Amino acid sequence: MLTDKEKLEKMAMLGVELNKVRDVDILLERVLSDARSFVNADAGSIYIRDKESLNFTYSQNDSLQTRIPEGEKLIYSTFTMPIDKKSIAGYVAATGEPLNIADVYRIEPTAPYGFSKKFDEKSGYTTRSVFTVPLMTTRGDVLGILQIINAQDENEQIIPFSENDERMLLHFAGIASVALLRAQLTRTILLRMIRMSELRDPKETGAHVNRVGSYSVEIYTHWARRNQIDSKEIERNRDSLRMAAMLHDVGKVAISDQILKKPGKLTDEEFEEMKHHTTIGARLFLDAQSEFDEVAQEVALNHHERWDGDGYPGYVDVETGAPLKGYPLVGGKPRGKKGEEIPIFGRIVALADIYDALSHARIYKEAWDESKVLETMRYESGRKLDPVLVEIFFSRLHVLRSIQHRYKED
């Protein structure tokens, strides 16, 4: 539990810290865990507003977490609720006013809102004290809702949220809202960039790239823990990788519609043209301004290299696409990178991209059954894919499935 002095110090750092996080998903996880640690709360959730509804987006619950193996994540089903005064979260979003409830099982019968027992009944958890605060812009637009659940005293007994907790969380919500608005703008711009490149079709959505981003982060996190990478570095890399992975195919912006949207198989010549999307994508990030640009370049360039060395583009000069001097040519072409010569983020996104491409329909192919997808993933271990990553892939399959569920084609 944090002392008051520690809380103040931490609060002072937060504006700076949170504003370094650029990816929305990573930011929300951070906001929730920081908010909970300020008031020693057992659980919490974030809802993000989408027009007239709230989407249940993130949730953490320490008590439920202890019932599952260490390092695992709780998997919640996502749901949507209307913004109206009938639910607690809806009420706060509709009015823009925070709500501090000492015991949700004893809400005044005259209150417009009621507590839905569904989650408690399903999970065996008991919700008591709930503090709900809107995440709002300075203009008063509601971005979402932060709901903190079950404050605890030193003995982990559930207590109501104090006035001090209220003040702290209100202040915190203000800081978090600024960071959230910024991250949402970044995400919007990224999605536009992606739509412009891969999708070039107004009916398409960002579901594929969101899935590739989330799978990549999940696999990286486990790979990094195995390799004892410092947790601060993991956190920073997760943020960059998520967005970089979403942009893996941004170089397709330069590929003609005829090839990109061809319903059938590509000819050899067309495929040679298609391969340029790797170097073209990497070129966009050549003037590496930040760590993110470096990761994005690494991913765009290397996501079609193969573990066995038969991938593309191999050792090329990113700027010109010409073979890099000092590396041997194979059949007149640059030699492919092999094994750990391929940067880790390239190896990870290669796996995520193939898994997603096989699992879903493409303009040139049908979606495959999961059993066939998994058989192929196993087959590609040591061929296209890094065997260690394939092993991590299978150990995290339940999480990857929940990501598929979360970003369905719509």
**Is residue 218 close enough to count as binding ligand SIN by CB under 6 A?**
yes
**Is 87 an interacting residue with respect to ligand SIN (CB under 6 A)?**
yes
Query: The tokens of 108 are what?
Result: 């005044």
By CB under 6 A, tell whether 105 contacts ligand C2E: no
Say whether residue 200 binds ligand C2E (CB under 6 A).
no
Q: Which does 240 bind (CB under 5 to 8 A by kind): Fe ion, ligand C2E, ligand SIN, none?
A: none
Q: Is residue 165 within 8 Å of residue 44, measured between CB atoms?
A: no
If one asks whether residue 119 binds ligand SIN (CB under 6 A), the answer comes out as: yes
Stretch that binds ligand C2E, among 82-90, 99-107, 233-241, 351-359 (CB under 6 A): 351-359
Of 81, 254, 266, 374, which one interacts with ligand C2E (CB under 6 A)?
266
CB of 385 to ligand SIN, least distance (A): 19
**Residues making contact with Fe ion (CB under 5 A):** 249, 353
The answer to whether the beta carbons of residues 333 and 322 sit under 8 Å apart is: no
Residues 354-373 that bind ligand C2E (CB under 6 A): 354, 357-358, 362-365
CB of 341 to ligand SIN, least distance (A): 27
Binding mask 244-263 for ligand C2E (x = CB under 6 A): ------------------x-
148 bridge partner residues: 44, 131
User: How far is Cα 173 from Cα 378, in angstroms, rounded to an integer?
Assistant: 45
User: Which residues, 6+ apart, have CB-to-CB distance to 339 below 8 Å?
Assistant: 307, 309, 386
How many residues bind ligand C2E, per CB under 6 A? 13
How far is C-alpha 304 from the geometric centre of its chain's CA atoms? 22
Residue 210 C-beta: closest distance to ligand SIN, Å: 8
Task: Tell me which of 22, 30, 187, 304 binds ligand C2E, using CB under 6 A.
Answer: 304
**Quick check: 13 binds ligand C2E (CB under 6 A)?**
no
Tell me the C-alpha distance between 122 and 117, whole Å: 9
Q: Give CA–CA dist 32/45, Å, rounded.
A: 7
Partner whose binding site includes residue 221, from ligand SIN, Fe ion, ligand C2E, none (CB under 5 to 8 Å by kind):
ligand SIN
Please name the residue that has the structure tokens 């991250």: 183
CB of 45 to ligand SIN, least distance (A): 7
The tokens for 212 are: 């590739």
List all residues 6 or more positions away from 283 whose beta carbon is below 8 Å from its beta carbon.
251, 318, 319
For the CB of residue 248, give the shortest distance to ligand C2E in the complex, in Å: 8
Among 243, 143, 137, 251, CA closest to 191? 243
Q: Does 25 bind ligand SIN (CB under 6 A)?
A: yes
380/33 Cα distance (integer angstroms): 38
Choose the one of ligand SIN, Fe ion, ligand C2E, none that binds residue 55, judging by a C-beta under 5 to 8 angstroms depending on kind.
none
Q: In the block, which residue shows the tokens 């925070």?
A: 98
Q: Which is nearer to ligand SIN, 104 or 260 (CB)?
A: 104
Q: Give the range of 150-158, 180-188, 211-219, 280-288 binding ligand SIN by CB under 6 A.
A: 211-219
Q: Which residue stretches of 196-230 are H helix?
A: 207-226
The one among 18, 27, 89, 169 contacting ligand SIN by CB under 6 A = 89
Question: Which of Fe ion, ligand SIN, ligand C2E, none has residue 364 at its interface (CB below 5 to 8 Å by kind)?
Answer: ligand C2E
CB of 254 to ligand SIN, least distance (A): 29
Long-range contacts made by residues 220-227, C-beta under 8 angstroms, separation at least 24?
220/344, 220/345, 220/348, 222/71, 222/392, 222/395, 222/396, 223/344, 223/348, 223/388, 223/389, 223/392, 225/71, 226/392
The alpha carbon of 375 is separated from its chain's Cα centroid by a whole number of angstroms, namely 26
Residues within the interface to ligand SIN (CB under 6 A): 25, 87-89, 115-116, 119, 127, 147, 214, 217-218, 221, 242
Residues within the interface to ligand C2E (CB under 6 A): 262, 265-266, 274, 304, 353-354, 357-358, 362-365
